[in-house]
A = this chain, B = another copy of it.
Amino acid sequence: MRRLGENALIAEILAPLATHPGAFGLSDDAAHLSDLPPNGLVMTTDALVAGVHFFENDDPGDAAYKAVAVNVSDLAAKAAKPFAYLLTLALPAAPTEDWARAFAEGLARAQAAFGVSLIGGDTVTARGPWWLSVTALGDAPARPLVRGGGRPGDVLYVTGTLGDAALGLKMRLGLDDFAGALSADETEHLARRYLYPEPRVSLRPALAAHASAAMDLSDGLALDLTRLCTASGVTASVDASALPLSEAARSAVAACPALIEAIIAGGDDYEILAAVPPDTASHSLAFEATARDAGCPVFRIGTLAEGASPPAFLGPSGEPLILSAKGFEHFAL
């Protein structure tokens, strides 16, 4: 089985992905971007480590796809249009050609899905689990969109459905008391949602035109909404019964009601949380219409309010839910 050194890995496997002229076919140590977008650049970086962000026995192409997708998700939440990324890949030893080709196939899939090109990077040796780090670039919108722009009275929206990836992860970990209540399609759905995030790039026009604040949900709605509120200097109340759930998640929560906590505090959703000024022709109704036209499902889940207390999640009779899980934090103490 042929193994690839650093030079062969770059020249044979990665260089064909570097279609942007500023990448110089990965023959150089820096990329040169000469045509910059008129409103500036949005940049983000996220690393994924085997055994932490994905399973060591996952297909390397799935990990590669996910690394690009989670970065694109951060750009999408800022109403930026992704166009390029840099990649750092750390491996304990020279990869086999099969491994390298599977890895590159995942990058190629992400490039096609999100319209991005590899423009540079680094390959290094690492003892321990393999990891990869992506830095992604996007065209900035005319008006920067940040976490801190939310105001009291703004309507809170989320895209897609929540909690699927967290339930998919529970199944991977064998914490799947609920799996017996699910159909084969439903378990497959949850597994896929953990492996293949779908960044909501189609929400960009709606966000750019109407949102006051936005971020993607990567560490769970509870923690990420707290971050949005803190940055905006507000609090929030969320109607837990309004949270959008997939059929699979509904079946799981019906079988085991405590799973609502995994829905609210579980990570890896990569859906977008947005605050939009309240109902007028130019605001939340227009946001909904623009999102609908773009084929991106959005759901009202609550509102922002004055105050500094943590966001409240309200049950069916308006009573606050007490959550024990707070979302994902690296090296939590």
Contacts and interface: CB of A to CB of B under 8 A. Distances in A.
Nearest to A53: B124
Given A49-B90, A53-B124, A133-B88, A44 B32 contact: no
Interface stretch (A3-11, A186-194, A251-259, A300-308): A3-11
Contacts of A128: 126-129
A90 B27 contact: no
* Most interface-central of A41, A119, A129 (chain B CB within 10 A): A41
B29 A77 contact: yes
Contact of A36 (B4, B31, B36, B74): B36
Contacts of A22: 40
A122 interface: yes
Interface string A43-58: 1111111011100000
Given A41-B33, A52-B125, A28 B331 contact: no
A317 interface: no
A227 to B, nearest CB: 8
Contacts of A135: 43, 45, 86, 135
Contacts of A218: 29
Contacts of A27: 146-148, 227, 231
Interface of A: 3-7, 9, 22, 24, 27-36, 39-49, 51-53, 74-75, 77-78, 80, 86, 88, 90-91, 93-95, 119-129, 131, 133, 135, 140, 144, 146-148, 215-216, 218, 227, 231, 329-333
25 contacts: A4-B333, A6-B330, A24-B147, A27-B146, A27-B147, A28-B78, A28-B148, A29-B147, A32-B146, A33-B40, A33-B41, A36-B36, A41-B41, A43-B119, A45-B122, A45-B135, A52-B124, A52-B126, A90-B131, A91-B331, A93-B331, A94-B333, A95-B331, A123-B331, A125-B330
Given A30-B75, A46-B88, A51-B127, 15 more contacts: A24-B148, A27-B146, A28-B147, A30-B80, A32-B41, A32-B42, A32-B140, A36-B40, A44-B120, A45-B121, A45-B133, A46-B122, A86-B135, A126-B128, A126-B129
